Structure 1
Amino acid sequence: MAPDPISTQTARQSTWHEVCRAFHFVDRADLSVVHEHMPAGTSGEPHTHERARQFFYVLAGTGTMTLGQREVQVPAESGIEVPPRTRHHMRNDGEEDLEMIVVTTPRASGTPHVRERPLGRDRGGLVVGSHLRQTRPGDLATVVSFEEAMDTSPFLGQGGMAWHESALQDPDLEHWVLVDRLDRVIAFGILVGVAGGEVVEIRRMVVAPEGRGQGLGRLLLRQLLEHALANPGVHRVWLDVSADNTRARSLYRAVGFVEKPAPPDATLLDNGVYMEWGDTHRLP
Structure 2
Amino acid sequence: MSKVVSTDNSEHYQWGEVCDGWHLAATSGLSVIQERVPAGAQEVRHFHHFSEQFFYILQGQAQLEVAGKVLSLTAGQGVHVSANTPHQLKNVSSEILNILVISTPPSHGDRVILE
User: How high is the TM-score relative to the length of structure 1?
Assistant: 0.38
**Aligned partner letter, 1:95:** S
Matching of residues 67-106 of structure 1 within 5 Å: 67-106=66-105
Instruction: Give unmatched runs, 5+ long, in structure 1.
Output: 116-284
Matching of residues 13-24 of structure 1 within 5 Å: 13-24=12-23
Q: How big is the shift at 1:56?
A: 0.5
Distance 2:110 2:9 in 1: 21
Q: How big is each residue's C-alpha offset from its partner over 1:173-228, in whole Å with a ceiling of 9 and x where there is no partner? A: xxxxxxxxxxxxxxxxxxxxxxxxxxxxxxxxxxxxxxxxxxxxxxxxxxxxxxxx
Quote the sequence identity (%): 30
**Aligned partner letter, 1:27:** A
Distance 1:11 1:109 in 2: 17
Q: How big is the shift at 1:111?
A: 7.9
Distance 1:111 1:19 in 2: 22
**Higher relative contact order (CA closer than 8 Å, sequence separation 6+):** 2
Q: How big is each residue's C-alpha offset from its partner over 1:81-122, in whole Å with a ceiling of 9 and x where there is no partner? A: 00111000100000011000110001112385x99xxxxxxx
Alpha carbons of structure 1 residues 57 and 90: separation in structure 2 relative to 1, 3 Å: same
| Alignment partner, residue 58 of structure 2 | 59
- Would you say how many aligned residue pairs link Structure 1 and Structure 2? 113
Q: How big is each residue's C-alpha offset from its partner over 1:28-71, in whole Å with a ceiling of 9 and x where there is no partner? A: 11000000000000000111111111101000111000112110
| Alignment partner, residue 6 of structure 2 | 7
Q: Secondary structure at the match of 1:102?
A: strand
| Alignment partner, residue 199 of structure 1 | none
User: How high is the TM-score relative to the length of structure 2?
Assistant: 0.92
Instruction: Give unmatched runs, 5+ long, in structure 2.
Output: none
Q: Secondary structure at the match of 1:24?
A: strand
Bigger fraction of residues in strand: 2
Distance 2:60 2:47 in 1: 24
Distance 1:17 1:49 in 2: 18
| Alignment partner, residue 122 of structure 1 | none
Bigger fraction of residues in helix: 1
Distance 1:53 1:111 in 2: 10
